[in-house]
Structure 1
Amino acid sequence: MNALTRLMTSGGAARVRVLAGAGVLALVLGTAGAYFYFSGRVSTDDAQVDAHIAPVAAKVGGNIAEILVADNQVVKAGQVLLRIDPRDYKAHLDQVCAQLAAAESQARGADAGVPLTSATTASVTTAASAQLAAAAADHERAVADFERASSSELALAKADVEARRATADRARADLERMAPLAEKNEISKQQFDAYVAAERVALSELTASEQKLANAGKHAESSRAQVQASQARVEAARAALAQATANRRQVDISHAQAGTASAAIEQARAAVTAAQLQVEYTTISAPIDGIVTKKTIQLGQIVQPGQSLLTIVPLSDVWVTANFKETQLADVRPSQRAEIRVDAYGRSFDGHVDSIAGATGAKLSLLPPENATGNFVKIVQRIPVKVALDHAPEGYTFRPGMNVDVTIFTK
């Protein structure tokens, strides 16, 4: 009996030692396996499906005349969602189109006036120049005639009068001296008659010379009047030429008016383009493929420019934004394999790291924390990581905001 007990006791101790060794080995292997399993990956449950959600807003104001979609309806890019009453904008478009037509008509008139004004101004300038040249030539001739009449002819006439007067005086004196001698018969009657005839001839020649002097004076006065008249014509021609030269500015004015008319056309065309855009903006279409969400409008409602009408949520172009602790990102790199487990479906999908944000989520928040004053408590920050799906999941819909778990394989 004692021998049997000792045998059983020794056998149990051996089994205990074997079991203990196996347990230690299993613990070591499990610890090593867990280390190798978890050391090559990082995980987080702070992750959600994300997408470029497109808010649809009104570009023009007015009454909503037609709504063509309902909440949660699937739409395609370019599909008409709603229409704003376009009548006011079409009336404005007609108005600016009429203004454009008027501006084009004015421009045609201004363009047509430029060559006419240029030709007329050139013709008037040429004629004025010719008139000035002719007037100047006439004035020169009048001045020369006046100088000749006042200097040469008049001086000669005066000298001739003086000479004739001296001759007449001498003839009269001779006659007066000979008259007593004739009465005493100291000279013959024939000699006395010769003295009488000489006096008459001298007086006649004096009268003729005085008439020539008077005529020379009249000619000088006439020449002076012609000089004054020709000078007046020269001044008038100069004034006409100056006016014609000044009229050249009208050509510049015509060019400026044509340029202004062209600018008015461009302005009117811009107004037409803006009015056409406003008419187009009354029809609102989907910017992307997706589902209509957050529709806040009703038929007949008056909306304002910039007012949010609804939101388009895409379901094809989606990704995952995973917020990892900063201590987890030491080995995370773009293109690393990732596993995405969606809570809604209870299964995993393949993906990869697309990019890592440049700052922490807290730094990018609306009111980032300020740690410069007060007590500071160090908190592990989280950095957003964009994880893209490798393939579009068939039969599954990833909706923005859905919770997921993300594991990134760093080795």
Structure 2
Amino acid sequence: MPEPEDDSPEKKSRRKLVVIAVVALLAIGAALFYWHSTFTEDTDDAQVDGDLYQVSSRIAGQVIKVYVEDNQEVKAGDLLAEIDPKDFQVALEQAQANLANAEAAAIQASVNVPITSITSSTSISTTGSDVQSAQAAIAQSQKQVAAAQARVAQAQANAKKSDLDVERYGPLVEKDVISKQQYDAAVAAAAANRASVLEAESTLIAQQEAVRQSQQKLSQARSTALEAVKNGPSQVKAQEARARAADAAVKEAQARVDQAKLNLSYTRILAPTTGIVNKKNVNVGANLSVGQDLMTIIPLSNLWVTANFKETQLEHMHEGQKVEIKVDALGGKKFHGVVKQIGGATGSRLSLFPPENATGNYVKVVQRIPVRIDFTNLDQENSDHKLRPGYSVVPIVSVK
């Protein structure tokens, strides 16, 4: 015979509690589902985006050192690679020598302005002639000083170049790429150029002494001068124009020096921002051209999410709403953000060939709108820098 069911009050009470618990759980689940479907919008068509910094060469040259590898973290200003600076150093020294020549010419032109003023006067006294002679002597001496300075600069540049030639020829003669006679000729040329530097410096000292003596004579002549000599206006204006042209030449030469300094600085390729090295495409010995891409720097401090929501999800969505972002690659780790912008057109309308629906076979397809979501606490939530551009995410927007 079947045993009679236990209908004790305790048994009935337990069954009632179980029923109540099940009903409560169903109610909570229904409430959560209702809240989620009513007050949030989410999509799995979303990815992390970020800026990409292309690092390229601003000059042409041969790479002598590379300091980074793919996926290496770098800071803004870190040295990434170096280009051989020797040619650019020589170019700078040549530009500086040309600047010295231009400055010497400008000094000569500026000195000739008062000389022209004196020589064009219609009448001078005996003491005035003495002043004129002394000024002419100073002008000539200063001209010679300027010329001597230019020769010193040119001789120093030549000596530097010949020393570099000897340095370059040394390994070549050891490898029999060039003859010993060629190497000896380069050594002799370097010695001759160094001797020319000494000779030019001696001449400069002598000319500077001549200037000092001429200045003493001018001081004596001025002390006894009885009349001032007036200039011929047209001659003075012409000489002033030449002086202005000489000053312009100095500015041009200075600009070339500045450009040479810039080119020399470009031999050190620096990181434009803090981030991760990617797509490194440079090695030691490579000959670079101007504008050639070397690598990409991906900054990890300026990331955002591009989420493609269905147009039916945008009714209550607007800028400023809070977003919870789950990252698939990080085991569903949550980040926090805010709706920054809602796209101005659908993805299909922005495609290269937008759809044309002029035929009678039109089928309505729900379109997707790109929405930009900015992270609000990225520095702390991504302190380990594991979040990278391209990761798939699930953003959940609170639209309540």
TM-score norm. by structure 2 comes to: 0.61
Counterpart of 1:277, as a letter, is: L
- State which of 318, 321, 338 in structure 1 corresponds to 2:303: 318
Q: CA deviation at 1:125?
A: 7.2
- 1:304 corresponds in structure 2 to 289
Distance 1:267 1:63 in 2: 29
Q: What secondary structure, in the 3-state scheme, does the structure 1 residue paired with 2:329 have?
A: coil
Unmatched 5+ residue regions in structure 1?
Answer: 1-19, 128-244
Distance 1:283 1:30, change over 3 A: closer
Indicate the RMSD between aligned Cα atoms, in angstroms: 3.3
> Is the Cα contact below 8 Å between 1:349 and 1:389 reproduced in 2?
no
Q: Percent identity?
A: 38
- 2:396 corresponds in structure 1 to 407
Pairing 1:327–2:312 present: yes
- 2:220 corresponds in structure 1 to none
Distance 1:377 1:387 in 2: 35
Q: CA deviation at 1:384?
A: 2.9
* Mean CA deviation greater in 386-395 or 284-293: 386-395
Distance 1:363 1:262 in 2: 62
Query: Residue deviations 1:33-55, cap 9 Å, x none?
Result: 52332111110111112222211
Q: What secondary structure, in the 3-state scheme, does the structure 2 residue paired with 1:124 have?
A: coil
Distance 1:293 1:107, change over 3 A: same
Distance 1:246 1:358, change over 3 A: farther
Pairing 1:349–2:334 present: yes
Q: CA deviation at 1:82?
A: 0.3
Counterpart of 2:247, as a letter, is: S
Distance 2:106 2:93 in 1: 20
Pairing 1:124–2:109 present: no
Counterpart of 2:54, as a letter, is: P
> Is the Cα contact below 8 Å between 1:360 and 1:384 reproduced in 2?
no
> Is the Cα contact below 8 Å between 1:322 and 1:387 reproduced in 2?
no
Between Structure 1 and Structure 2, how many residues are aligned? 276
Distance 1:26 1:318 in 2: 39
> Is the Cα contact below 8 Å between 1:362 and 1:368 reproduced in 2?
no
Q: CA deviation at 1:320?
A: 1.9
Distance 1:282 1:376, change over 3 A: farther
- 1:227 corresponds in structure 2 to none
Query: Residue deviations 1:108-155, cap 9 Å, x none?
Result: 11111112212322x22789xxxxxxxxxxxxxxxxxxxxxxxxxxxx
* Mean CA deviation greater in 311-320 or 246-255: 246-255
Distance 1:370 1:271, change over 3 A: farther
Distance 1:372 1:94, change over 3 A: farther
Distance 1:98 1:363 in 2: 62
Distance 2:348 2:88 in 1: 46
TM-score norm. by structure 1 comes to: 0.60
Q: How does 1:135-150 map to 2 (within 5 A)?
A: none
Counterpart of 2:266, as a letter, is: Y
Q: How does 1:56-205 map to 2 (within 5 A)?
A: 56-121=55-120, 123-124=121-122
Distance 1:32 1:263, change over 3 A: same
Distance 1:26 1:82, change over 3 A: closer
Query: Residue deviations 1:298-343, cap 9 Å, x none?
Result: 2111111111101112223322222222332222223321111110
Distance 1:271 1:341, change over 3 A: same
